[in-house]
Amino acid sequence: MASSVGNLFIDRSKDQSKALKQTVERALAQISDEEFFRKPGVESHSIASLVKHVSGTLRSRFTNYLTEEGEKPDRNRESEFIIHEGETREALMGRWEDGWGTLFATLEGLNGEDLTRDVQVRWKKYSALEGID
């Protein structure tokens, strides 16, 4: 029974994640490149940097989800908030797709029993379910 509930949770997580991704993408389709890269204030981030950060988070957290630390050693989290000269919207959206693809592939590979396993994110232990939720 627990496994079937776990599988329902995984299916629901996939559906909710797909819906969230689509909602964000519909919003992004409504803004220009100038708006995408604009920083609204000194202490603010551009939409581009948030796309870059979410992409990095998804890739880091969900690559080898059940077996590796969620904060990968090759990730430079702080640099995700910096848009370098030459970074394009197209390239950042490619990273976005890669990050979400990592999440969806991980969810597809999980089963209900996996949700009780421990994962580690930023050196703190969680159940796999908590890491997804």
pLDDT for the residue numbered 3: 64
Beta carbons within 8 Å of 25's beta carbon, 6+ residues apart: none
Query: Do 87 and 118 meet the contact criterion of CB atoms below 8 Å apart?
Result: no
- The structure tokens 């819906």 sit at 19
Tell me what pLDDT residue 75 has: 92
**Length of the chain in terms of residues written:** 133
Tens of pLDDT along 7-35? Answer: 999 999 999 999 999 999 999 999 999 99
Residue 122 — very low, low, confident or very high, per pLDDT cuts 50/70/90? confident
Using one digit for the tens of pLDDT, what is the confidence trace for 61-108? 999 999 999 889 999 999 999 999 999 999 999 999 999 999 999 999
Architecture of domain 2-132: Up-down Bundle (1.20)
Q: Which residues of the chain form beta strands (DSSP E)? A: 118-121, 124-127
Structure tokens given for 15 = 């559906």
* Domain regions of the chain by residue span: 2-132
Q: What are phi and psi of 121, to 5 degrees?
A: -130, 120
